[in-house]
Amino acid sequence: MHAADNPGWSLVVPVKTLVIAKSRLAELAGPHRAAFAVAVAGDTVAAALACPSVARVVVVTGDEIAAETLGRIGALVVDDPQAGLNAALRHGAAHAVRLDARCPVAALQADLPALRASELERVLSAAGEAEESFLPDAAEIGTTFYGVRRGVPFRPRFGGSSRERHLAGGAKELVLDGVASVRRDVDTPADLADAVALGLGPRTRGVVARMRPVAGVTLIDVQATVRSFDPATRSGSVFLDDGTEIPFDAPAFDAGPLRLLRSGQRVNIAMEGDKIVYVTLSTFPLPD
């Protein structure tokens, strides 16, 4: 597909009602489960909107909180018809075609917290060469992306073993290097650990910093910025990258190698639950 023939992709992103989202991460996320789901969707949408080949992102959701949050990021939000995932995607695609029938349309899963715009651009470029295509997830069982060129029927087959169904339906499987962030959806703590290794988006990183590790999985070296520090009490506070302010006390500071902190310094922190237990400069590693 020549650039002149393509005014940009319309991406359809389905977002579940938050009370049922990410059930397999419930133990890990605890009270932060809904915030985690919104943060992951937010990082997915923000990365997609930063992709040069994306004209718009249409979010399909029945959740008011998700709708408001993702709308502020720049997504166009339509209501979920509550008839299943693929029906939601078809509903969003129909809305996108009404907005601009010249655009190719694609479905993108909402749980890609490490998504990089440059990697999505590579996927869209390859998808533009096929009438109907898809990208399998990291496990090569499901699907994270499905797209069609302008005028081609939009027939998503998400859910369960969707890679097999997309293949059986005639869609071309995209086999690409360097697109790990587009394939790394997150349903389990192990998935999240993989996404952490790729590099989480700022919204997800901020929520994960307040989640407790389980099953021996070390989730993240959390980075933050020093807001304040009192040398007399050896306590202060930091801002996470999502703007959340978290205090730390003398034991957390004393556990690290530092003698002083200044406002504006970048630091690595380790947390247990909502509490900071270790502080060091961002150029120093956290303890194993």
Report the DSSP pairing between strands 222-230 and 266-272: antiparallel
Instruction: Please give the annotated binding residues for phosphoenolpyruvate, written as ranges.
Output: 143, 159, 162
| CA distance linking residue 208 with residue 219, whole number of Å | 8
Structure tokens at 245: 């302010």
- CA torsion sign for 39, 224, 114, 43 is positive
Contact yes or no for 58/78 (Cβ under 8 A)? yes
Structure tokens at 14: 């389905």
Instruction: Please give the annotated binding residues, written as ranges.
Output: 143, 159, 162
What are the two backbone dihedrals, phi and then psi, of residue 5, each rounded to the nearest 5 degrees? -90, -5
DSSP string, 233-278: TTEEEEEETTS-EEEE-HHHHHTSS-S---TT-EEEEEEETTEEEE
What is the residue whose two structure tokens read 């994960």?
208
Structure tokens at 152: 């081609």
SS3 64: helix
Sheet with 222-230, edge to edge strand ranges:
245-248, 235-240, 222-230, 266-272, 275-281
Contact yes or no for 93/115 (Cβ under 8 A)? no
Report which of 81, 62, 61, 50 is spatially closest to residue 13, judged by C-alpha positions: 61
Exposed/middle/buried for residue 64 (C-beta within 10 Å: 0-12, 13-18, 19+): exposed
